Structure 1
Amino acid sequence: MSRYKCIIFDCDGVLVDSEPLGNQVLVDLANKLGANITLDYAFKNFKGNSLQNCVAQIANLIDTEVPTNFIDQYRKLSYEKFKNEIKPVEGVFDVVSNLKIPFCVASSGPETKIKLNLKLTGLLPYFEKNIFSCYTIQKWKPDPAIFLWAAKAMGFQPTECLVIEDSIIGVNAAVSGGFDVFGFTAHDYNDELKDKATNTFGEMLILPKLIDSKS
């Protein structure tokens, strides 16, 4: 039996396969401003960051000002893309439907985005009452505040929780908050999670066995 009493999932890239979609929209908008970046660049530099940080990075790549409506444009276009193309991470339904301990989602995205993507992928019923957004507390990873808030709200100490993350920023946030963290490496483009995470795994379906092995 696992020693963990609660699982805290990141959302993008862990529960829903939204990273390629959202990053492509960022790339397209940035390139219209002259950034001349690729999707690979976005994966390596934007993954796990707050949208504000991504916009700041884009500002350093262009010769003009980032439009004041850039984030609004991004939200509109990305939500449209999510509605048409988003899918759950393979195997995640089997994982969450069979977990025997409490679990929740803690994400850097707005709560509206988290709920939309969970609804579109059929995952919302599993998380509806346990959704934690960085926008609510106005603190973003690598600050561990989102994970500390989620743990406290769920009724557990950090040492009783396991965080599931797919970005180095998220892993660092969890570690600095005193959590064990498993890095999901399906899209670990920089091969950087293994040196920081408590454990790593590349297929969602093996997560339950890894959890149970930590007794």
Structure 2
Amino acid sequence: MTTPLCLLFDSDGTLVDSEILLAEVMAEVLPRFGLPFTPRQYMQEFRGVRFLTIVLALERRHGTLDAARRERLEQEMRTLMERRMRAELMPIAGMADALAALDAHPKAVVSNGPEAKIRCAMESVGFSHHFEERLFSAYTLEVWKPDPGLFLQAAASMGYPPARCVVIDDASVGVAAGLEAGMQVIHLNRFPAAETTPVGAIAIHHASELPAAVARLTADAMV
């Protein structure tokens, strides 16, 4: 029997519907530090992007923060975000059933967020048993999407070559990183009117489509 493909999931916007919460939290905290920001900006410009990259982009527009204020800003944002996640976070529609259907596949979460945030998200929506300790954070490995190194390190830790891995990601930075890593990529494109799936990636628009997409990749890998 062929070894099942290894599935590498993004967290925010792929497994959990956290992006609107994050956009709202950032819009609450960033202006207090002199960095005007709206939820719409996050959704249009910065989905999936490292938080520091967002802050530095805003600083170029509105003025530089010193290191101490920048650190305090991130601490306030992380604290408020965890509180909101524990109280309000929901899984992406259809993802619970999709994960159950893909139970035979080894799985990991590979995220640009801190490990504590990934863990909080999985606990909040009841997905921890699908991934256990297989949580790969850019903050821990010190490499952020769209750099392919994050997925490559996760694959190596899982014991799989890139060609036997499938990246499932909703954001352009993750899709780009997966393709650059030489992996199969499924783009959970939840905003098809506004976003285009890059050549080389498979587009789906709802988590319910994920098991069939993985089954097709599995069949192709056996040819």
TM-score, length basis structure 2: 0.89
Aligned to 1:21: 21
User: 2 CA distance for matches of 1:190 and 1:39?
Assistant: 16
Q: What's the Cα RMSD here?
A: 2.0
How far does residue 189 in structure 1 lie from its aligned partner after superposition?
7.1
- Distance in structure 1 (CA, Å) of the matches to 2:127 and 2:193: 26
Query: In the alignment, what sits opposite 1:103?
Result: 107
Q: How does 1:45-60 map to 2 (within 5 A)?
A: 45-60=45-60
Report which stretch shifted further, 8-17 or 126-135.
126-135
Return the structure number with greater helix share.
2
Deviations 1:16-62 (A, max 9, x none): 11011012111222233444432121112221111111111221232
Unaligned runs of 5+ in 1: none
Q: Per-residue CA shift, 1:108-149, capped at 9, x if unaligned? A: 111111011100110111111211111111111111111111
Alignment partners' CA distance in 1, 2:193 and 2:44: 7
- Corresponding residue pairs, total: 214
The answer to whether the 8 A contact 2:148-2:178 is kept is yes
Is 1:121 aligned with 2:125? yes
Question: In structure 2, do the counterparts of structure 1 residues 52 and 64 end up closer, same or farther at CA, with 3 Å as the change threshold?
Answer: closer
* Aligned 8 A contact 2:185 2:202 in 1: yes
Report the counterpart of residue 71 of structure 1 in structure 2: 74
CA contact (8 A) 1:167 1:188 kept: no
Q: Once the two structures are aligned, what percentage of the paired residues are identical?
A: 30
Give the structure 1 partner of residue 42 of structure 2: 42
Instruction: Confirm or deny that 1:139 pairs with 2:143.
Output: yes
Classify 1:138/1:175 alpha carbon distance in 2 versus 1 (closer, same or farther; 3 Å).
same
Q: What is the CA distance between 1:83 and its match in structure 2? A: 1.4
User: Structure 2 unaligned runs (5+)?
Assistant: none
State how far apart, in whole Å, the 1-side matches of 2:143 and 2:201 are.
Answer: 24
Q: Per chain length, whose mean CA-contact separation is higher, i.e. which structure has more relative contact order (CA < 8 Å, sep 6+)?
A: 1
TM-score calculated relative to the size of structure 1: 0.92
